Structure 1
């Protein structure tokens, strides 16, 4: 009789987030599992909005845990950590966590006099022209005004790459502690030889910072020269600000144009001139303003066409939940279909899973307010809503889904094939308590896989012990309920230290983050291939 060579045999596969075998307790007292340092740092990094409280963890404690992990791995595994930080600011789209991580990585390597990596890591996380100043603000506030060479050189590399006329107009403002000129003074960046205008830009940035009254050279810096003269043109003829080409020539941001215009021009007409040059994220965050100003349906259709374009959505790098936020706070339904399309584009990596899939979405109190953070439209887009975005998308794309919301209890939700992700998100509620094992026990009936979107902080899963042949109650876990042959994927939304199950092998895998990218690992693992860290996958 054959035991191993059966149709059900599958190759053993491994995923990168790995538990150590050491046990602990979750924040709600359930059986918990500790992860290795790399796994703990990864899950925390992809969910950590620096300086903000989580439900179970104060901001200071959370940030300390993050910096300690970065500093530990900066010495023990600098290549891996450098890869994480570069990816975190890029595809991971986590700005502040990447910047803080790069600074702490560098500080620890300087402390140990360890050569290499630091300059490159600093440069890799600075991807927007205001970020060299942000890095200086963080470094000097924590370590003083003395700048080590790797910090100076990494920032100088980024300055060469990022500083241009429009960047100066957008980011070099009086509100900043470190202006462009301050950054140049401190890091001594040289102009890029391939950018002949950059020398004049750097000099003008210094003159502007020290209020020397220098006029930018109109031959090398035409946008800055036009911008400086534009207020005079506007005073002579306010209608000039209703000319989209003139706005573009002067490099006016939409914020600057609205401020300058005040009540002197029709607000709807001004928005209609600004809209063609606005980025997709700026459009999404201003839908309420467009409606209140009375922007025409024809111009609204232009906005919707951009939301419906997959390339535009990808370029915006907006988290999927930001599209939900835009829909949630837009007064008019004229945006709804386009926002649905944009949300679906931002979830392009959510797989169309074959067979039966149990999808459990955490709606417990720890997923709700008490853990809010700023979005383009609101400060109340909770973990629960983010989890609902992923859960609804998975359910609508799965062949045979069972969609369940759970807390201490649980409830099955209807899934309408071909339906709207946005409408399915609206169907979720809130349930007191958190009991992952009980939700698995109540709804798993030999599904091909289980996907749990949660912060993992489960209560002890007390279930009747007659399941094991004797009376009373016994604390149970996922592995007691689900055979190893059935894969369980835990989508970690909060980055807490204790996990709710082992992970890394034997059909138990944990992912994390606020984008859809890690969903690519599910079909990879189910095809019998090992998964690796996302920044390594592209070179594997």
Structure 2
């Protein structure tokens, strides 16, 4: 969803000795600039509150870190921002990062004659609503004076992304920065006559010009207008899947036009063939409540579980858990299980014995986003149990002020395991006694993996709770300033909401010291 344009992994480095404390009073280790920025970016849903850090403070820290990295490590920062949007699939953090990168470089007098500033802006804009989103962010913070590299980068993205279907989907009145506003401010060169016609149409309707002309090249826009006119007379025309598709009609618009005049099951069944992967994933509950037939549901389930579709959708693993919890019926469960497993497919097989500790303290009962459907401890459980299923031998422990051992059942589905984790009372909601948990359950395992926000309590030093010859991997799910271990031999911290970091376990144990996934 839009963050600004609306009307109302890897290994990181810390200091060797504690130079502060965590929010819970435990020994805290500062991170270097790149590491702090990386962990904050891959865990930060911009504008969202966390347990210990207000949204404004967190976003301000992100801007400061981007500005410092843009000046000190410009090429690293450019690679990072492109990976953040493309590899980590984090829209808002990459968008804000690109804007702040250019601003910091220009403020420091570092004008780039090669066009790199322009390119990094264009590269992070991958969806048609994002040019307006970036301009909305910039103007809300810094006013209407938009520097040329930002304008030109936005213009490049607009020329690449503005199509008839994208206009019908994203150019809505709920956004103060409409397509026409972006065109007025950045003046992109049209890719051809058809796009020139599209730009003219977008400008005409943005400025409320009477009867915006629909050029002959805009066949989808014309079909959309014709379908709307026909639906006003006879809503049954909305039950034609081919007309809906040809008109680029979104499911939101079709529902609005159909209203209560059409059977919901038939309307959904007409819309489903032209709906995208994410739209189907988000609407499983609506499909069930409308009474969509099992035959149609089977086609949806097949798409959800298709490996190519899962890869193309670039959905984070938590999305599948959220959909599973939201859907009333079980007819989606197998497809969502398959999709979740596919999204975690790169977690490698891990030999030997592994102690996996999942932080279920109160601070992990903190939402990733404002809707509150998934918490940080949900992500910890997803990744912890997925890793356990890949381990030759694994002991899984839920910890807070106390600990409980979660028995791993070989061959159990991941979603069923997550359900059992909750049903058996392994979400504790207590303090963060990390060091005590490690000491209580370490029995000579080959490695220790901790999934946590790193805000360890004052019950001891996490790093020294196991011998320094034993690899200790931390999967950070919050991105706070202080870490609970130093970055020394056999101590590593990963971050992010994808499975890529787990692939580093074997590489690091084998001696590969690669630091970044880009």
TM-score (ref. length: structure 2): 0.94
Q: Secondary structure at the match of 1:533?
A: coil
Matches within 5 A, 1:200-215: 200-212=197-209, 213-215=211-213
Aligned counterpart for 1:460 among listed residues 458, 461, 474 = 458
Q: Secondary structure at the match of 1:295?
A: coil
Aligned counterpart for 1:67 among listed residues 63, 86, 93 = 63
Q: Secondary structure at the match of 2:76?
A: helix
Q: Please tell me whether residue 296 in structure 1 is matched to residue 293 in structure 2.
A: yes
Q: CA deviation at 1:316?
A: 1.3
What residue number does 1:228 align with?
Answer: 225
Indicate conservation of the 8 Å contact 2:26/2:456, yes or no: yes
Indicate conservation of the 8 Å contact 1:215/1:225, yes or no: no
Structure 2: distance between partners of 1:264 and 1:518: 50
What residue number does 1:255 align with?
Answer: 252
Structure 2: distance between partners of 1:445 and 1:16: 25
Indicate conservation of the 8 Å contact 1:48/1:494, yes or no: yes
Aligned counterpart for 2:512 among listed residues 508, 526, 529 = 529
Structure 1: distance between partners of 2:467 and 2:308: 41
Q: CA deviation at 1:21?
A: 2.8
Indicate conservation of the 8 Å contact 2:235/2:257, yes or no: no
Q: CA deviation at 1:390?
A: 0.4
Q: Please tell me whether residue 483 in structure 1 is matched to residue 476 in structure 2.
A: no
Structure 2: distance between partners of 1:372 and 1:506: 31
Gaps of 5+ in 2: 1-9
What residue number does 2:174 align with?
Answer: 175
CA RMSD of superposed structures (Å):
1.4
Aligned counterpart for 2:441 among listed residues 440, 443, 446 = 443
Matches within 5 A, 1:207-356: 207-212=204-209, 213-218=211-216, 220-356=217-353
Indicate conservation of the 8 Å contact 2:476/2:494, yes or no: yes
What residue number does 1:31 align with?
Answer: 27
Structure 1: distance between partners of 2:448 and 2:306: 32
Choose 1 or 2 for highest CA Rg. 1
Q: Secondary structure at the match of 1:355?
A: strand
Q: CA deviation at 1:500?
A: 0.5
Q: Secondary structure at the match of 2:448?
A: strand
Q: Secondary structure at the match of 2:30?
A: strand
Structure 2: distance between partners of 1:68 and 1:409: 37
Q: CA deviation at 1:480?
A: 2.4
Q: Please tell me whether residue 18 in structure 1 is matched to residue 13 in structure 2.
A: yes
What residue number does 1:497 align with?
Answer: 481
Q: Secondary structure at the match of 2:397?
A: strand
Q: CA deviation at 1:53?
A: 1.2
Query: Per-residue CA shift, 1:112-138, capped at 9, x if unaligned?
Result: 121223212211111111111111111
Aligned counterpart for 1:95 among listed residues 87, 91, 97 = 91
Structure 2: distance between partners of 1:390 and 1:138: 33
Query: Per-residue CA shift, 1:14-68, capped at 9, x if unaligned?
Result: x741113352111101111111010000000001111111101011111111100
Structure 2: distance between partners of 1:353 and 1:406: 22
Q: Please tell me whether residue 420 in structure 1 is matched to residue 404 in structure 2.
A: no
Q: Secondary structure at the match of 1:411?
A: strand
Q: CA deviation at 1:400?
A: 0.5
Q: Secondary structure at the match of 2:480?
A: coil
Structure 2: distance between partners of 1:433 and 1:499: 16
Query: Per-residue CA shift, 1:284-323, capped at 9, x if unaligned?
Result: 1111111110001111111111121111111111111111
Indicate conservation of the 8 Å contact 2:381/2:418, yes or no: yes
Q: Secondary structure at the match of 1:74?
A: helix
Indicate conservation of the 8 Å contact 1:365/1:430, yes or no: no
Structure 1: distance between partners of 2:193 and 2:333: 46
Query: Per-residue CA shift, 1:321-367, capped at 9, x if unaligned?
Result: 11111111111011111111111011112222111111100000000
Indicate conservation of the 8 Å contact 1:448/1:486, yes or no: yes
What residue number does 1:6 align with?
Answer: none
Structure 2: distance between partners of 1:394 and 1:88: 23
What residue number does 1:53 align with?
Answer: 49
Indicate conservation of the 8 Å contact 2:31/2:483, yes or no: yes
Structure 2: distance between partners of 1:276 and 1:520: 36
Q: Secondary structure at the match of 2:508?
A: helix
What residue number does 2:163 align with?
Answer: 164
Q: CA deviation at 1:372?
A: 4.7
Q: Secondary structure at the match of 1:529?
A: coil
Indicate conservation of the 8 Å contact 1:99/1:135, yes or no: yes
Structure 1: distance between partners of 2:182 and 2:465: 58
Query: Per-residue CA shift, 1:414-448, capped at 9, x if unaligned?
Result: 11111011121121422211111111111111111
Indicate conservation of the 8 Å contact 2:67/2:100, yes or no: yes
Indicate conservation of the 8 Å contact 2:463/2:484, yes or no: no
Structure 2: distance between partners of 1:214 and 1:304: 41
Indicate conservation of the 8 Å contact 1:454/1:491, yes or no: yes
Structure 1: distance between partners of 2:308 and 2:448: 32
Structure 2: distance between partners of 1:176 and 1:236: 29
Q: Please tell me whether residue 362 in structure 1 is matched to residue 389 in structure 2.
A: no
Q: Cα–Cα, structure 1 residues 175 and 446, in superposed 2: closer, same or farther, change >3 Å?
A: same
What residue number does 1:8 align with?
Answer: none
Q: Secondary structure at the match of 1:400?
A: strand
